[in-house]
Structure 1
Amino acid sequence: MNLMQPPVCAPKVEGFMLKPEYWIKKIGDAEKLILDEGEIIEFNKKSFRKMRSRGFEEWLYDLKKYPKEITKEKLLNTMKSYSSKEVFPDKTCYDIHGNKITETVKKEVLYQANFDGIPDEISVELGMLIKRADVMAFPTDIFFAEKPETIDLNLFQLTILPVGSPVAILHKSKNRKWYFVQSTICKGWIKRENIALARNEKEVFDYLETDKFLIVTESRVETEPNPFVKEISNILFQMGDKIPLIEFNKIPESIPVGNLHAQSAEGCYVVKIPVKDEDGYLQFRLALIARSNDIYEGYLPYTKKNIIRQAFKLLGERYGWNGMFKRRDCAQFIMDIYSTMNIIIPCYTKMQEEGTAGESVKFTGSIKDRENILNQLKPGDPIYLKGHVVMYLGKDVNNYYIIHSGAGYGITNKDGSIKPVTVHGVFIAEVHQLLMSGEKSYLEAFTTARKFQ
């Protein structure tokens, strides 16, 4: 059968390799549990402990243990890595239109960070996200790019948090439009409009710890549009997000009740999502998610088959630096896939490589030595290199393959020069392929493989 449009692939990648089934059938124990539910809980506890011991606690934080009060010194220390005066860029930066950002604008951004408004003692408030929201290094909507041509990379974008994320609120911007927060996986500035204040801890953690929930197992889903209740309409969730279900006997006849133009629950799941009341405090509303979406009741079983299937659901999607464009970068690609199986890992490559529980396999030696190390890995294992992470797929004849959200690769021209090839998306590559920089191959750049088990 001739395809109307054959797929565009990297060198040594064939069209049949773009299907997860091709790789899954090569795995002898694809459906064997890597860890069961109890073992996963213990694995996650080990990751939290290891992150804390490595000094990475603020990138994997158990908010149940966050103190009710902190000092000014503690807050400034928390802000030091991304959000302090010392790390604010003093070089020339460019806005979304490629124009130079003026010193006046820079000063205003620092002014809004409200460093002089931090009290000696801070009462910590608990909140919850009511919308998927960017976490920023500084409280501004202004795009800060390193070069006029790099408007796909905001220097201030730290990560993105899903609806329902709990946050400890530590500080407010000068104009009160932004909160500086500590979340489970990061710290930074979030728009105040995206956070509802909690009246007590119980309502937050009861919501998070429910045993009846959906897991989003496709790239993204939305609640169904509701013209009568806008705050529950088209709420975005992405792969790995957990959405609480309500009890069957509490399902209403429609949302809202008593409206003959309202949608009923037929063909849908009824879920509970956080919203704000008139005073800005947390409450919960019912919403609908169509059962036709790729979603799962509870966590997916932790198997190699499921890891590979989840990875291929993201194939071809745009690279999104720290969650930009409602997409994923390399580390979030790995994080979201594993979160569908309740494996909790950080959102940055360094912390995944050094701070997560499990086994580490170091890459050293010659090309042959490195190939022998690949032979020890299993499909689905993440492999790290400087500032990047890929997922191992397996071997085909004498070639080894990976899938990842990356910038691209290099090709050697006939004259020996290197041609960089842009991808900036999720793609499959063979490990002997050059990096986009051309300095070495992926295989030569690998530093560590991890086994999350």
Structure 2
Amino acid sequence: MLHAFHRISLLTGALCLSASVAFAAAAMPGTPAALTKPSAWTTPAGNTVLATPERIKAMNAQMDKAIFGDSIQDLGPTISGDKLTGYVNAFGMDEDQYVQRAPLSHSFAAQLVQDAKANIRPTNTVKYGVVVDRVDLRSFPTLQRAFDSASDTQFDNWQETAVDPATPVRVYHTNPQGNFIFVRTPHYRGWVPRNKVAITDAKTWQTYANPASPAVVTGRVLTLQAGSQSQLYQMGTAIPTRNGNLLLPTRDHQGYLQIVPVKAAYGTDLHQGYLPYTANNTIEMAFKHLGAPYGWGGMHNSVDCSSFVQDVYKTMGIQLPRNGDEQAQSFPGKSFQGMTHDQKLAYIKTAAPGSLLFTPYHVMMVLGNSNGTPYMIHSLASYGMETSSGVVKNRIMQVVVSKVDLMAGSGTPLVDQMTQCNTWR
């Protein structure tokens, strides 16, 4: 007899692999077209395995401890009201914003803050859930978007990240209206619509939290059909399998997990297990995003600078934190403190392909050197262009290949703003 929270559909859904969309990569200053192909950067030596699965598991545990102090699998059955209130309050409300092109009202802001805390009890049961549809993770229980200006539509201040189907979550509590839940994902906390998560039991949840033989999405995005439901998966998502079938999660009318087995069709966009951690695999995965739109917090079903590198590394089983500052803190790296422009460039020329470069606001991936010039690939919002009237900001909003000393929108080379270089080994 199946557990009440775990109902396996007897229907086998049809698998639909989405065709990869080809994006036109923008021409960048100082980047020849020949360098915008992965073959320009892959080498025979790049097939060397850089870390074993056992080492990767240890790195993941180290990063979880550095950022959260625990992993999602370590969470207990309850959480205290004080601790949960602290998590909710971590998303501070700034009222100097615009919602629907109008100034954010004090009453709406206050209502959101109140709704976020209203149902917190002295002791709160933490449920097990699985995401069933790609969904925005929000700072507050609302899908309304908040911007710094009335004209902006790209940088939503209440957008934390996007979460893919098959992602395990723990459910902390619900807003008074019952339409949003506050969750912990493996790498984040925030609010999602309640109908995007299916509740299950602890044993079944482990199927998604710790899949024994996952299928891993290696396309930029992949669309799968779970019965009548179309699901969008982004690169790096691990989908559990059993007997050659993908175990796609759906939600029944009562809100419980219903698993739809779908025959796995492996190819360029879906891999049986994680890819080996090699420089060439890192580069190949990164270039699948070239030209893709910049998506702040996962908007537009795409990537910003930190989710770009996170998704690439996830294909090889390396679970980087979501945000750039956390990625920089999560693993030992080379500090650039006190280094000059030339000293930074000299170090970056020696950095291994796939190494990450950090500024306080941006993350970039090292590709290597061409004719003595170091290059990188990154999801970029804008850069600086010199004109007769001075430096102007060119909003490009896509994944690009550029020189490491590309000019930032502020008018200074990005390399001058770089603080650190991390190499995962």
- What TM-score do you get using the length of structure 2 for normalisation? 0.90
Distance between the aligned counterparts of 2:73 and 2:415, measured in 1?
41
Distance between the aligned counterparts of 1:369 and 1:435, measured in 2?
19
Instruction: Please point out which of 368, 376, 383 is paired with 1:394.
Output: 368
Q: Which has the higher contact order (CA 8 A, sep 6+)?
A: 2
Distance between the aligned counterparts of 1:7 and 1:196, measured in 2?
38
In the other structure, the counterpart of 2:230 is 234
Which is greater in Rg?
Answer: 1
Instruction: Please point out which of 83, 90, 95 is paired with 1:90.
Output: 95
Instruction: Please point out which of 404, 420, 423 is paired with 1:448.
Output: 420
* 1:354 paired to 2:329: yes
Instruction: Please point out which of 306, 313, 336 is paired with 1:338.
Output: 313
1:156-305 paired onto structure 2 within 5 Å = 156-198=158-200, 200-224=201-225, 229-230=227-228, 233-248=229-244, 270-288=245-263, 290-291=265-266, 294-305=269-280
Q: Give the fraction of aligned pairs with identical amino acids, expressed as a percent.
A: 24
Instruction: Please point out which of 38, 42, 49 is paired with 1:33.
Output: 49
Report if aligned partners of 2:80, 2:123 keep a CA contact under 8 Å in 1: yes
Distance between the aligned counterparts of 2:337 and 2:396, measured in 1?
26
In the other structure, the counterpart of 2:12 is none
Aligned length: 403
Distance between the aligned counterparts of 1:367 and 1:314, measured in 2?
29
Report if aligned partners of 1:360, 1:449 keep a CA contact under 8 Å in 2: yes
* 1:43 paired to 2:59: yes
What one-letter code is carried by the residue in structure 2 that aligns with 1:362? F
Instruction: Please point out which of 105, 109, 131 is paired with 1:106.
Output: 109
In the other structure, the counterpart of 2:406 is 433
Distance between the aligned counterparts of 2:414 and 2:281, measured in 1?
25
Report if aligned partners of 2:128, 2:202 keep a CA contact under 8 Å in 1: yes
Change (3 A) 1:72 1:306: same
| Per-residue deviation, 1:291 | 4.3
* 1:328 paired to 2:303: yes
In the other structure, the counterpart of 2:13 is none
What one-letter code is carried by the residue in structure 2 that aligns with 1:17? L
Change (3 A) 1:43 1:117: closer
Report if aligned partners of 1:16, 1:22 keep a CA contact under 8 Å in 2: yes
* 1:15 paired to 2:33: yes
| Per-residue deviation, 1:282 | 1.7
| Per-residue deviation, 1:350 | 0.6
Distance between the aligned counterparts of 1:331 and 1:239, measured in 2?
13
Distance between the aligned counterparts of 1:109 and 1:420, measured in 2?
35
Spell out structure 1 runs of 4+ moving beyond 6 A: none
Gaps (5+ residues) in structure 2? 1-23
Give the SS at the match of 2:45.
coil
Distance between the aligned counterparts of 2:65 and 2:120, measured in 1?
30
Instruction: Please point out which of 56, 69, 79 is paired with 2:88.
Output: 79
Distance between the aligned counterparts of 1:365 and 1:110, measured in 2?
43
Gaps (5+ residues) in structure 1? 1-5, 249-269
What one-letter code is carried by the residue in structure 2 that aligns with 1:109? L
Give the SS at the match of 1:117.
coil
| Per-residue deviation, 1:40 | 1.2
Give the SS at the match of 2:416.
helix
Kindly report the root-mean-square deviation, in angstroms, between the aligned alpha carbons of the 2 structures. Answer: 2.0
- What TM-score do you get using the length of structure 1 for normalisation? 0.84
